[in-house]
Amino acid sequence: MLNESINAIIDSGMKYLIADLQKLIRQPSISAKNEGMNDCARLVAQLMENAGLQTELLTLDKQGDNKKKDIPPVVFGEVRSKAHPNSKTLLFYNHYDVQPVEPVELWKEDPFSGKVKGDRIYGRGSTDDKGELITRVKAVEFLLKKYGDLPCNIKFVVEGEEEIGSVHIRKYLLKYKHKFASDNVIWEFGYVDSSGRPIISLGMKGLLYVELVAKGPFRDVHSSLAVLIENPAWRLVQALSSLRSKNGKILIEDWYKEVQQFTREELELVSNEPFDEQEFREQYGQEKFVNNIRGNETKKALVGMPTCNIAGLISGYTGKGPKTILPSTALAKLDFRLVPDMDPKTQFNRLKTHLERNGFGDLIEIGFIHGERPYRTPIGNPMLTLVKDSAAEAFGTNPIISISSSGTGPMHSFATILSAPCVSVGSTYIFSRMHSPNEFARIDLLNKATKCMANIIERFGSVRK
Amino acid sequence: MLNESINAIIDSGMKYLIADLQKLIRQPSISAKNEGMNDCARLVAQLMENAGLQTELLTLDKQGDNKKKDIPPVVFGEVRSKAHPNSKTLLFYNHYDVQPVEPVELWKEDPFSGKVKGDRIYGRGSTDDKGELITRVKAVEFLLKKYGDLPCNIKFVVEGEEEIGSVHIRKYLLKYKHKFASDNVIWEFGYVDSSGRPIISLGMKGLLYVELVAKGPFRDVHSSLAVLIENPAWRLVQALSSLRSKNGKILIEDWYKEVQQFTREELELVSNEPFDEQEFREQYGQEKFVNNIRGNETKKALVGMPTCNIAGLISGYTGKGPKTILPSTALAKLDFRLVPDMDPKTQFNRLKTHLERNGFGDLIEIGFIHGERPYRTPIGNPMLTLVKDSAAEAFGTNPIISISSSGTGPMHSFATILSAPCVSVGSTYIFSRMHSPNEFARIDLLNKATKCMANIIERFGSVRK
């Protein structure tokens, strides 16, 4: 073993990596429905123990019992370097929860099958985030097998609420600030584009998630009464249509007030990002984009444009056939992506004021579901070079540097509470159907990502405090 | 028996009427889902045979087999007067199908329980229309028991598609025009207001039912892509908000072009209709009405105002928790009520043109679900006086005359194909939760309605050709 290169060890260990990923996929862990969370946390801890990490299931309350509030535990894992116990510490942030599987009828296999077909493993979480997690656990396992030690200290923080907006990670970070103490964070996900180039991302958008509920008559009533009774679905439609123009502009007063303009350096990085519009359009069946944007504008939008999105809409009768009712309620789920320096609570208050001014104040009574602040690690951070070199070697091609992902995560909390700059490393195929039916992971990329993680740990170990 | 008054016979026969109504309620017959239709048709025929009617299950195709198209049979029933075989013929039009039961969680009892609590029988169809049907069948049964004959010819046409817009009744009427031949039609339903006054109605609104479907990406995708990919829920909201103003006005060009203005005589009847705004508001939990209308305007609206109603709306994730997706489709179900002389096909074409002009032409590709023309029997028809006197006697109070119900039915087809003026007679409590959870029938009104139907048959028998 000691004579083999780490890459050769990883190659010959892929069958174990796949088998462990299948175990993870086969254990449902849907945070939105609180399904299987504790079982999955225990499974993650077990796989990490097998890899050589010391693990703990952490909870928020003193009794070590999160059950009252149904808060999933955080799986914490640690390996201290024997040779260099005072070396720097690298923290891997991941999550074991997955998105709901609906619409379930569009899945070709059981969403929890973990079925391997050719170079793909199918199932909810195969990419997001169980696929990412397993490459990191295995990188540690294979390095420990080869050397019997690591060149630096490694920590894992694996949470169970990422898909519902990491609602308690900030509290976990504050409570376990010393346990989690580290110098840098490798973020939970990162994409590889369709040309096989890994994307290194330095930031994440923020999020404001709200529900608008319009209430009508006590119960659904016969629709002939629509001459007199106001239909809550109409009120919801009117409220929604006041929020956003056809070209995607958010019409709420002061919505863009704190949006930072790109610096010249940032703009250069954005312009250098390759983005295959044609490929992207084909993947998603789109003839054109919102507001007909093209070229560099699409890249700027992905990195830095705030959005107002309807994630869900329901009212009245939605079954087969023509039922003639006037519904008693109408619900919309909205997610707003935020960019630096927008603050979710400020934006929520602006939304609230907008609705009140337009006569829809009642729709947002209990509307604030979740907020997450946006964050960007500065371009000059030395971790960027280290990660870039590691990825270039593992993937055999120059990585792309992005100043921000278009997605959202609690990067702001990690970066500020731990004072540890965060970097996201390209690992998984960008069109893996994350959050959609038939999600899959590419086995070739699981292999390369594992090598990349091993490279990062080795390089990180050579940087002394 | 012969010495007893018909009212006494009806009073002592109520237990059988209730038992038979329970049998009907306990047999589901949801036309929108094609559930239990043939079983219910056979049950109706059996109850009618028991009452002394000759019955047939009629179908549209030559083989007597509607199964290929899942078209429910029409139950036809007939009694010819032995003493006066050439007398006039009165046709009772009813339906044995019911609305879907959703939202099922709001029912306090099984929707098909037929449970009696106090003066109420609960269950889907208890009022609409199984409750109405049973009063008519029993009126015939009790009259035959008393006299061994009827003073006129009676026919029943009981269809199975009323709740899905009577989609084939026109074809049935055309095919069985001679079998159904009659001089007058008693319509399938009629209300009694909260003061116990029966409402006699001479007309019905028409209906246009459409579905709008907006299509987005091939599948639901991560909502971070909302910066580029147009959300079909937004397109649907935009299309919907272009159809109707906040005050209920339909904004489609020429929508009101053929709307007949009320004559002075009609307007007088409308003004004379009692309408307890306060009671109505409390029943439906409304502080005010659409466009803040009050007084006589509310009556005019119920009788003669066209509407555009959202009956259903669905898109994306509507479960628990904050799922961040951009949905692949968005669907709206719309029903437009029409008044004389609006034509559903003309109105559909206007809607289509409106959507096309506004860039939403793709939303209505297969949108026409159902159309029904509006109709009003002229005020001067002699049947009105006969029905009014019969109802006054049975209910012990002066009926209210309405020139049109706010609801929809195939009255236009019956009236024109059979050349038989149609009248709707107040029978069931106006707040019986038709189409809603916990629908019920009031037993006192089932009793009075049966007496009213017996009166109508007796009076109709005294009018010779």
pLDDT confidence of residue B283 = 86
Q: In which domain, by residue range, is A45 found?
A: 6-204+375-461
CA angle at B311 for the pair B310 and B312, rounded to the nearest 5°: 95
Instruction: Give me the CATH number covering residue A385.
Output: 3.40.630.10
Across the interface, whether the CB atoms of B164 and A321 are under 8 A apart is answered: yes
Residue-averaged pLDDT of chain A: 94
Instruction: Please check whether residues A328 and A450 belong to one and the same domain.
Output: no
pLDDT confidence of residue A64 = 53
Residue B273 lies in a domain: no
User: Of A349, A372, A395, which residue sits at a domain end?
Assistant: A372
Instruction: Please check whether residues B118 and B233 belong to one and the same domain.
Output: no
pLDDT confidence of residue B370 = 83
Return all residues near A462 (Cβ < 8 A) that are at least 6 apart: A151
Instruction: Please check whether residues A364 and A407 belong to one and the same domain.
Output: no
Q: Is B82 on the interface with A (CB under 8 A)?
A: no
What is the C-alpha to C-alpha distance for residues A94 and A137, in angstroms, rounded to an integer? Answer: 10
Residue found under tokens 């047939």? B56
Q: Is A124 on the interface with B (CB under 8 A)?
A: no
* Shortest CA distance from A106: residue in chain B: B219
pLDDT confidence of residue A27 = 98
Instruction: Please check whether residues B345 and B422 belong to one and the same domain.
Output: no
- Does A464 have pLDDT greater than 70? no
pLDDT confidence of residue A431 = 87
Residue B39 lies in a domain: yes
Residues of B within 8 A of A230 (CB-CB) are 286, 289-290
Q: Per the structure, how many domains does chain B have?
A: 2
Single pTM value for the model: 0.82
Look at A107-116, A139-148, B264-273, B344-353 and tell me which has the smallest mean pLDDT: B264-273
CA angle at A217 for the pair A212 and A221, rounded to the nearest 5°: 120
What is the C-alpha to C-alpha distance for residues B132 and B143, in angstroms, rounded to an integer? Answer: 17
Residue B119: how many CB atoms within 10 A of its CB?
Answer: 12
- Does A423 have pLDDT greater than 90? yes
What is the C-alpha to C-alpha distance for residues B284 and A400, in angstroms, rounded to an integer? Answer: 60
Please measure the distance between the N-terminal and C-terminal CA atoms of chain A and give it in whole angstroms.
Answer: 30
Residue A300 lies in a domain: no
Residues of B within 8 A of A295 (CB-CB) are none
Residue-wise pLDDT tens digits, A216-251: 998 899 999 999 999 999 999 999 999 999 999 999
- Does A80 have pLDDT greater than 80? yes
What is the C-alpha to C-alpha distance for residues A75 and A66, in angstroms, rounded to an integer? Answer: 13
Tens digit of each residue's pLDDT, chain B (465 residues): 556 899 999 999 999 999 999 999 999 999 989 999 999 999 999 999 999 999 999 999 765 555 556 899 999 999 999 999 999 999 999 999 999 998 899 999 999 999 999 999 999 999 999 999 999 999 999 999 999 999 999 999 999 999 888 889 999 999 999 999 999 999 999 999 888 999 999 999 999 999 999 999 988 999 999 999 999 999 999 999 999 999 999 999 999 999 999 999 999 999 988 888 998 999 898 999 999 999 999 999 999 999 999 999 999 999 887 889 999 999 999 999 999 999 999 999 999 999 999 999 998 876 888 889 999 999 989 999 999 999 999 999 999 999 999 989 899 999 999 999 999 998 999 889 988 899 999 999 999 999 999 999 999 988 766
Q: Is A221 on the interface with B (CB under 8 A)?
A: yes
Q: Which of B262, B245, B243, B240 is nearest to B347 (CA)?
A: B243
8 A C-beta contact, residue A211 and residue A366: yes
Return all residues near B276 (Cβ < 8 A) that are at least 6 apart: B193, B194, B195
- Length of chain B measured in residues: 465
What is the C-alpha to C-alpha distance for residues B51 and B141, in angstroms, rounded to an integer? Answer: 4
Instruction: Please check whether residues A218 and A324 belong to one and the same domain.
Output: yes
What is the C-alpha to C-alpha distance for residues A245 and A234, in angstroms, rounded to an integer? Answer: 18
Residue B453 lies in a domain: yes
pLDDT above 70 covers a percentage of chain A that reads 97
Residue A268 lies in a domain: no
Q: Is A300 on the interface with B (CB under 8 A)?
A: no
Task: Kindly report the nearest CA distance between residue B421 and chain A, in angstroms.
Answer: 23
Residue B286 lies in a domain: no
Instruction: Please check whether residues B139 and B249 belong to one and the same domain.
Output: no
- Does A447 have pLDDT greater than 60? yes
Instruction: Give me the CATH number covering residue A216.
Output: 3.30.70.360
pLDDT confidence of residue A2 = 55
8 A C-beta contact, residue A46 and residue A20: no
What is the C-alpha to C-alpha distance for residues A191 and A424, in angstroms, rounded to an integer? Answer: 9
Residue B239 lies in a domain: yes
pLDDT confidence of residue A465 = 60
Size of interface A-B (CB pairs under 8 A): 293
8 A C-beta contact, residue A369 and residue B356: no
Instruction: Please check whether residues A76 and A197 belong to one and the same domain.
Output: yes
CA angle at A59 for the pair A55 and A65, rounded to the nearest 5°: 120
Instruction: Please check whether residues B363 and B406 belong to one and the same domain.
Output: no
CA angle at A421 for the pair A415 and A424, rounded to the nearest 5°: 100
Instruction: Please check whether residues A102 and A237 belong to one and the same domain.
Output: no
Q: Is A251 on the interface with B (CB under 8 A)?
A: no
pLDDT band, very low/low/confident/very high, at A462 (cuts 50, 70, 90): confident
The ipTM value here is 0.82
CA angle at A313 for the pair A307 and A316, rounded to the nearest 5°: 160
- Does A348 have pLDDT greater than 80? yes
Instruction: Please check whether residues B164 and B245 belong to one and the same domain.
Output: no
Beta strands in B80-205 (DSSP E): 89-95, 116-117, 120-122, 153-159, 184-186, 191-192, 199-201, 203-204
Which residue in B246, B319, B406 is closest to A32 by CB distance?
B319
Q: Is A417 on the interface with B (CB under 8 A)?
A: no
Across the interface, whether the CB atoms of A240 and B244 are under 8 A apart is answered: no
Helices of type H across B359-440 = 383-395, 411-417
Which residue in B246, B320, B326 is closest to A238 by CB distance?
B246
Over residues A269-279, mean pLDDT: 89
Instruction: Please check whether residues A383 and A321 belong to one and the same domain.
Output: no
User: Of B323, B347, B372, which residue sits at a domain end?
Assistant: B372
Task: Kindly report the nearest CA distance between residue B26 and chain A, in angstroms.
Answer: 21
pLDDT band, very low/low/confident/very high, at A273 (cuts 50, 70, 90): confident
What is the C-alpha to C-alpha distance for residues A341 and A257, in angstroms, rounded to an integer? Answer: 9
The tokens for A310 are 């309807």
DSSP string, A253-316: TTTTTTPPPPPHHHHHHHHHS---HHHHHHHHT-SS-GGG--THHHHHHHHH--EEEEEEEEEE
- φ, ψ dihedrals at B149, nearest 5°: -165, 165
User: Of A372, A387, A405, which residue sits at a domain end?
Assistant: A372
Q: Is B229 on the interface with A (CB under 8 A)?
A: yes
Window 126-155 of A: residues touching B by CB (8 A cutoff) are none
Residue A285 lies in a domain: no
Across the interface, whether the CB atoms of A435 and B103 are under 8 A apart is answered: no
Across the interface, whether the CB atoms of A324 and B408 are under 8 A apart is answered: yes
- Does A292 have pLDDT greater than 90? yes
Across the interface, whether the CB atoms of A407 and B224 are under 8 A apart is answered: yes
Residue-wise pLDDT tens digits, A349-391: 999 999 999 999 998 876 788 889 999 999 989 999 999 999 9
Task: Kindly report the nearest CA distance between residue B10 and chain A, in angstroms.
Answer: 31
Instruction: Please check whether residues A41 and A148 belong to one and the same domain.
Output: yes
Instruction: Respond yes or no on whether the N-terminal peptide bond of residue A341 is cis (omega within 30° of 0).
Output: yes
